[in-house]
Amino acid sequence: MAVPAAQVGPKVALSAAGWAVGLRRVLGPDYRMGYLFVTPIALLVLSLVAYPFCYAIYLSMTHKLVGLPPVFVGFENYIRLTSDGFFQRAVVNSFIFTFGSVGFKMVIGVVMALVLTSPVRWRSFWTGVLLIPWVAPTVVSALNFLWIFDGSLGVLNYMLVHVLHILPQGVGWLSEPGLAMASVVAVNIWRGFPFFGISFLAGMRAIPGELYEAAAVDGANPLQRFRHITLPGIRNIMIIVVLLSTIWTFNDFQIIYILTKGGPGGTTMVMPVLAYETAFGAQRLGEAIAVALYLLPVLAVTIMVLARYMRQGRRR
Amino acid sequence: MNRPIRQLAEQLDAHQISRREFVRKTALITGGTAVGLSVMNKMAHAQGPKLRVWLFKSYVTAGNDILAKQVEAWAAERKVQIEFDWATFGDREQKFVASIEAGNPPDIAEMNYQGPMRYRPALRDVTKLAKDLAATRGGLLPFAERVAQLDGQYSGIPRLVFGGGLHIRKDLVAEKGLKMPKVYDPDVIDIAKKCQDPSKELWGFGQTLNRSDDGNGFMQNILWDWGGGTWDKEGKPALGTTFLKQNLEAVQFAVDTIKKHKIQPPGVMSWTDVHNNEAYMAGKLVCTNNGASLYYAMGAKKHPLYEKTQVILTPGGPAGAFVASNPYNWGLFKAGKHAELSEDLVRWVEDEKRFEEYMKACSGQAGPVYKTRAEHPYWKSDPNYEGMLQNILRGVWIGYPGPITPAAIEVQAQYILCDMAGRIVVGGLTPEAALKEAHKRVEEIHRIRSRG
């Protein structure tokens, strides 16, 4: 049986008004304004981050050649990469490059911060000088190192052979087994340690001086003061800096691409360079994105674990 | 536009004008500017169509300048606006990939030998124009014919091929009373050993096997020289099967130049395409394989080694002397709006008088792709040009002895052969293991590319 419209109208209006009251109670009186303010940024995030990311995941599951439409192949690209020896070496190289670099950067960064907190003359000047590698564009630094490491015309070999007479003959810094990876790691360390140093310096300056005075009164030597006051004092900063540097170094492209292009024979091939080579050399775009996304879950888990550890530390 | 709005904002801050007046005046300024820009845009259109042209920026800068001037002269004659862009060795393929995927490629572009095969889906069919040009120039040379078309359909119009050869210090060779080399083993090895002096940082041979065009070219050539190759006659992978024995010997030779004979400088495995040019011009090499750009650079700089250098045929091996002649081509993109104008531009710059002007500025780099151009007296004007020409004329194509295919191109683009050599020299693999590994990669590429 049909219900007369006059009987329905007030009920609908009442329930709508009730909804509005309920929403106001839950979300606050200005919730409509809140949506208005949040919408632009939500749209931006969706269009500039979420959409490209989801599209990249889709493309990584396609056979996509330049100029041709993508053909969905499921997880074929990922499965193929898993058994690809060249890719496997790139994964191992990426970890060596990342953790080798980050480890050294942390140690040198701590030393830099300790030196700059001690009463040295012209401290501001030295701080500025030590920041130069971090400030200089990576491309410029890498090109300079390409010349420095050159086997025939490089300044490093010239110094070692002709000026210091340490070596009888020049060394192929970017072409000898082991040396190539060590050289690109060295450049990454050179470029990245000031970030560690300056961050640790900020952390060390925030530690109250009274703690050191009390420790000195209690008979703690400098090493003990460093271990029991300085290190715990900069622990959180250390975790953040290591976390950021791990992500940046893992995704570092410029240094290796300019110095070795991943060669010789794949000795220095890392994931970002391999992704680039697969995209623009092989021109297989689907597979290139699969290379780029392959270790994303591992990195995401690492970040989550570190972040959790950091939060726990803060609570303690 | 920025300044008046800023002034208005300052007036608003100083309460000299009301908010309403600020909004009204700002709207007027913005609207006026938009109308002005629109009128200017229409005026620009009235000046004629705009053609987007991508040229290749080679190391032979005099040639680049002449080509640009010829294109500009054509634009002035036809009342066409030109939007120029230059692609280099380092960013050429990246630009093509990005523009094709974005649906915004140029109308016309100068592509290397990989272009017609790789970008075929995005390129116009230019069969008629390519055949017309070839017919009036005695026909295309065999390698150019292979590179520009597939199953009779042309995706590119061949323009030139880089001349080059073994650049060798004739003064040092004469000093030792030696003859110019014809084969790598033993001729080049012998000359290199007798002429080099590591204590003075003078090395016999400068040839990288690293990921580079130079490394790629050398590795591919010596496989052929030793009777092997990457592909068989049907275009199937043959690196570790049909030609295994020959390829093993060739790879062993390449590695021996570094490890056994010690005729290559330290660091050669990290060289890119420019390093051998720099080392040769610094007087640190007895000989090196290179394109004519090295000869051009020495001539342009009046370098003392210019007179002491001879460019000879690239040496060979037991099965003969092979080189890949990789032509540059014009490509017309489907997404371009001005196909007829683009074809007209190709006819203009490929006009024989204009090409002659370009060729003479290029010091051997603008090698012939047409039969009549190979007969031009220019190639006899310098003994070194003669060597470059003969190198071009005997050239084969990537994929030889089979057809040129997208898989053959990708093997080059991925530096598979360079990686193979690098895995032995730096990675410590045996030649057998490195060949097996490389063959697996070639097979994988063949499988993927066969799917289309």
> What pTM was estimated for this model as a whole?
0.84
Q: What is the mean pLDDT of residues B309-337?
A: 95
CA-closest candidate to residue B421, choices B257, B175, B200: B257
With an 8 Å Cβ cutoff, are A281 and B415 in contact?
Answer: yes
Question: Tell me, what's the pLDDT at B35?
Answer: 79
With an 8 Å Cβ cutoff, are B267 and A68 in contact?
Answer: no
Residues B120-135 pLDDT 10s: 999 999 999 999 999 9
Chain B positions touching A85 (Cβ under 8 A) are: 437, 440
On whether the CB atoms of residues A63 and A286 are closer than 8 A, the answer is yes
Query: Which of B199, B200, B426 to mutate to probe the A interface, most A CBs <10 Å?
Result: B426
8-state DSSP, B394:
T
Q: What value does the mean pLDDT of chain B take?
A: 93
On whether the CB atoms of residues B329 and B115 are closer than 8 A, the answer is yes
Nearest-Cα residue of chain B relative to residue A68: B121
Q: Residue B380: pLDDT above 70? A: yes
With an 8 Å Cβ cutoff, are A66 and B119 in contact?
Answer: yes
- Where residue B155 falls (left for φ over 0; alpha for ψ -120 to 50; beta otherwise) is alpha
Question: Tell me, what's the pLDDT at A2?
Answer: 46
Which residue among B267, B415, B421 sits closest to A172, beta carbon to beta carbon? B267
A33 vs B276, which has greater pLDDT?
B276
Q: How far is A244 from chain B (nearest CA, A)?
A: 29
On whether the CB atoms of residues B154 and B148 are closer than 8 A, the answer is yes
pLDDT beneath 50: ranges in chain A: 1-3, 5-6, 8
Interface of B with A in 282-321 (CB under 8 A): 282, 284
What size, in residues, is chain A? 316
What token pair was written down for B269?
A: 């495995």
Q: What ipTM is given for this predicted complex?
A: 0.83
With an 8 Å Cβ cutoff, are A68 and B419 in contact?
Answer: no
Question: Tell me, what's the pLDDT at B227?
Answer: 97
Chain A positions touching B198 (Cβ under 8 A) are: 169
Question: Tell me, what's the pLDDT at A1?
Answer: 42
Residues A202-238 pLDDT 10s: 999 999 999 999 999 999 999 999 999 999 999 989 9
Question: Tell me, what's the pLDDT at A3?
Answer: 47
Q: Report the alpha-carbon distance of residue A242 to residue B408 in Å, rounded.
A: 44
Q: What is the largest CA-CA distance in chain B?
A: 94
- Where residue A221 falls (left for φ over 0; alpha for ψ -120 to 50; beta otherwise) is beta
Which amino acid appears at position B326 of this protein? Answer: N
Q: How far is B376 from chain A (nearest CA, A)?
A: 36
Q: Residue B267: pLDDT above 50? A: yes
| Number of neighbouring beta carbons within 10 Å of residue B383 | 10
Nearest-Cα residue of chain B relative to residue A283: B97
Which residue among A68, A169, A177 sits closest to B198, beta carbon to beta carbon? A169
Q: Report the alpha-carbon distance of residue B197 to residue B266 in Å, rounded.
A: 13
Q: Is B414 on the interface with A (CB under 8 A)?
A: yes
Burial group, residue B188, by CB count within 10 angstroms (0-12, 13-18, 19+): buried
Residues A260-281 pLDDT 10s: 999 888 899 999 999 999 999 8
Question: Tell me, what's the pLDDT at A33?
Answer: 82
A vs B: CB pairs below 8 A: 149
CA-closest candidate to residue A149, choices A116, A120, A130, A175: A175
- Burial string for B56-74 (b: 16+ CB within 10 Å, else e) reads bbbbbebbbebbbebbeeb
Question: Tell me, what's the pLDDT at A220?
Answer: 92
